[in-house]
Amino acid sequence: MTELQTVEGSFNYLVPTGQKPVTFLYEPSQGEAERRGVYAARSLPVADGRPIAAGLSLDAEGFALARHASALASALASFNDEAAIKRIYYPEMERLVMQVTGAPRVLVFDHTLRANSPAGRAALKAREPVRVVHNDYTPLSGPQRVRDLLPAEAEALLRRRYVFINVWKPIKGPVEEMPLAVCDARTVAAQDWVATELRYPDRTGEVYSVAFNPAHRWYYFPRMERDEALLIKCYDSVEDGRARFSAHSAFDDPTTRPGAPSRESIEIRTIAFYAG
The b/e string for 26-51 (b: 16+ C-beta within 10 A; e otherwise) is eeeeeeeeebbbebeebebebbbbbe
Domains of the chain: 23-273 (2.60.120)
Report whether pLDDT(210) > 60: yes
Q: What is the pLDDT of residues 157-182, one digit of tens each?
A: 999 999 999 999 999 889 999 999 99
Which pLDDT does position 27 carry in this prediction? 62
Which pLDDT does position 25 carry in this prediction? 74
Q: What is the pLDDT of residues 17-26, one digit of tens each?
A: 988 898 887 6
Q: What does pTM read for this prediction?
A: 0.94
Least confident of 1-5, 85-89, 127-131: 1-5
CA distance 3 to 52: 10
**Average pLDDT of span 54-62:** 98
Report whether pLDDT(32) > 80: no
Question: Whole-number mean pLDDT of the chain?
Answer: 92
Which pLDDT does position 79 carry in this prediction? 81
**Average pLDDT of span 216-229:** 97
Report whether pLDDT(143) > 90: yes
Q: In what order do the strands lie in the sheet with 248-250?
A: 6-14, 39-48, 218-220, 180-183, 248-250, 134-135, 204-210, 193-199, 22-24, 35-36
Whose CA is closest to 208, among 218, 222, 194? 194
